[in-house]
Structure 1
């Protein structure tokens, strides 16, 4: 007949004193309080392991940090597992392993590992944009979540305020970056599948809008406004440089002196700074060479043609030209990117070859074979186009431009 154990009381547990050797007080159903010679007290759960029959002890906690009531609660949970033939020790080990995996695979932790890989193939500025987008929009609410627990509704809920604010471009970038991260997790074995595939479909697509620009006949007015504008000299030069070279705002703002070949009159923009990730060469004209001569005494000691006003070791911001145009009264009428549209419209109206214009604008030709051929043969033909365009801008600035009846050089 089994000996019945009387349950312990709080008073017995509290008043238990150390003895000459280690001993235990029993509460029944495998729960015991072990007291050492030094006087420390620990709760233990004693049981026989399922399918093995070997006696095992699980330390529940120390007294008084773990009370009698808390110890009994854990004993009950372990007993429930035993009734299902589940070994409490194995269950505890599995839970601990799961918690370790959760800590090591939170969105923030995994994203930082992905950053280390991703940032080796993109520019420093692009790397900063990616990390800031995660820190600003994702980490505050989702950074602590294991990527394996993330669901599409979770992420959509976090991005919804951006949708309500009309920031569709930000949502698009975040969805693209999240999906790239999830694909990396699948490829590295962290996930078995991408739980966020297709989340962009939950948001309405932004209808493409044309960049605000002006008509070709308004160029003289722009050049007059630029000459009288209350803006920094280097900002005025930046706008003129972008207008003459027909490049994108970021490409102009980040132009470096070591990219300029003065003898060949050629500006070579490396692939990592181009939208299509392909090197782009810009033939320089007498007007753009004169512009370089003008700014050399100002920015020649910097790496950049147009260094930041506050940090000469960095290029000016790509929005510098836009802000200047707004101060000049062109808010909602013209943006710096619209200068490319102005050039394209003018050149097309004057009869220049469309392929030459597209090559000058660094637009990607969908036909890869034709694109390779164009890149190899269009440089000198583009030089003629660029010279005409610079002359046209100069005439607009000096008031000599005649809009009616003057035809451009048709490149064939």
Structure 2
């Protein structure tokens, strides 16, 4: 078969029926009745042995020289047992899949996988960061085409504003999304794994907490402050129980075991997802006596003022502490640090203190042992801590002090 010339290809005219002009090596120029021209390559399918044609582009978009190159590639593929049509279909499907797997789409799938593993408030905060700082710049880019420079460029404006903690957290979220993409088989590796090293690191801020000798000031200021009884009781409850702010604020009456004098916080409300028992001291029971007329008929010990069917916001402790002069000095979490520092200085066993704070031992066997043996020893520790708080409240109208004063006057 004679080779086609560029002039023959250009001058080929339409006929009553579509026809082909051969160039040799399985390459043909296909001319339709409309006059449109395209290149085709004839080959034998490796799987069936049947002869078929596959398109390799339109003329003049694909020149004669380029068509010959593509035909050669097809012959080499067939020689290796590859079907060009199936290969083209796979490549097209891959492109479509990549185009659909944008960063935002994959982030939505990643977020769905977190629904039953993270608290709604955490999920909402994480998604908000992505919406504000990531999606506008790279949300529509397929993750298979996303590069480190693209991600870095998206976050540089936040770094320039000095929001280094936000940058750190957002980089972490982006990497979680990309790792999900790797695990889901959408990409082979995560190109963003090292970008955190590009940004300035935020200064480490130690938790704001009072020194042990400042406890009298704290408890006496809280006692004399103008605040709702629910808030006052909540602050003293958290201080005595050494629990986390959200654990204290979300306390339910059904969690109080009056027979054993223990507050049992279910694992669903604990940070470490493990139930925690708090021995109730006389001072804690006194706080319950004060708050019972307010919320004893409700679900929560410390109900929200706006909606009593819901617990008060854990952030209310921080707001109250700020209002009464402790802004920049301590936080709700700092109350736990105050307890820990004081107890350690008094020589209490560090393991007992950690157990009281509901910190999980990294050694799982040791952790399980601690759960079963430390409750009795924690009762001694909690009683000392409550009595210590009470002594430092001397002369004030703290919640527990009020109960004790009433008991004395009733004698």
Whether the aligned pair in 2 keeps the contact of 1:44 and 1:57 (CA below 8 Å) is: no
**Change beyond 3 A, Cα 1:175–1:92:** same
Q: Aligned pair count?
A: 361
CA displacement at 1:57 relative to structure 2: 8.1
The residue that corresponds to 2:67 in the other structure is 82
**Change beyond 3 A, Cα 1:89–1:381:** closer
The residue that corresponds to 1:47 in the other structure is 39
**Change beyond 3 A, Cα 1:145–1:292:** farther
Deviation digits for residues 69-100 of structure 1 (CA, Å, limit 9, x no counterpart) = xxxxx753344763531689999867753452
Query: Following the alignment from structure 2 to structure 1, what is the Cα–Cα distance between the partners of residues 139 and 103?
Result: 5
Q: Give the secondary structure class of the aligned counterpart of 1:118.
A: coil
CA displacement at 1:269 relative to structure 2: 2.6
Q: Give the secondary structure class of the aligned counterpart of 1:77.
A: coil
1:251 and 2:251 are equivalent in the alignment:
no
Whether the aligned pair in 1 keeps the contact of 2:164 and 2:202 (CA below 8 Å) is: yes
Whether the aligned pair in 1 keeps the contact of 2:253 and 2:301 (CA below 8 Å) is: yes
Whether the aligned pair in 2 keeps the contact of 1:247 and 1:361 (CA below 8 Å) is: yes
Length-normalised TM-score, structure 2? 0.74
1:202 and 2:198 are equivalent in the alignment:
yes
The residue that corresponds to 1:397 in the other structure is 393
1:232 and 2:228 are equivalent in the alignment:
yes
**Change beyond 3 A, Cα 1:190–1:3:** closer
Deviation digits for residues 55-74 of structure 1 (CA, Å, limit 9, x no counterpart) = 7789x9xxxxxxxxxxxxx7
The residue that corresponds to 1:324 in the other structure is 320
Selected match of 1:294 from 290, 293, 296: 290
Deviation digits for residues 168-212 of structure 1 (CA, Å, limit 9, x no counterpart) = 443333333333332322222111112222332223444433222
The residue that corresponds to 2:21 in the other structure is none
Whether the aligned pair in 1 keeps the contact of 2:175 and 2:192 (CA below 8 Å) is: yes
Whether the aligned pair in 2 keeps the contact of 1:220 and 1:399 (CA below 8 Å) is: no
Length-normalised TM-score, structure 1? 0.74
Query: Following the alignment from structure 1 to structure 2, what is the Cα–Cα distance between the partners of residues 392 and 76?
Result: 91
Query: Following the alignment from structure 1 to structure 2, what is the Cα–Cα distance between the partners of residues 374 and 56?
Result: 71
Query: Following the alignment from structure 2 to structure 1, what is the Cα–Cα distance between the partners of residues 221 and 33?
Result: 88
Q: Please, which runs of 5 or more residues in structure 1 have no aligned partner?
A: 9-21, 35-42, 61-73, 401-412
Q: Please, which runs of 5 or more residues in structure 2 have no aligned partner?
A: 1-6, 19-28, 45-50, 75-83, 397-411
Whether the aligned pair in 1 keeps the contact of 2:281 and 2:383 (CA below 8 Å) is: yes
Selected match of 2:264 from 264, 268, 282: 268
The residue that corresponds to 1:68 in the other structure is none
Whether the aligned pair in 1 keeps the contact of 2:13 and 2:31 (CA below 8 Å) is: no
**Change beyond 3 A, Cα 1:392–1:4:** closer
CA displacement at 1:166 relative to structure 2: 4.0
Whether the aligned pair in 2 keeps the contact of 1:156 and 1:199 (CA below 8 Å) is: yes
Query: Following the alignment from structure 2 to structure 1, what is the Cα–Cα distance between the partners of residues 144 and 189?
Result: 9
Deviates more, 1:309-318 or 1:233-242: 309-318
**Change beyond 3 A, Cα 1:222–1:181:** same
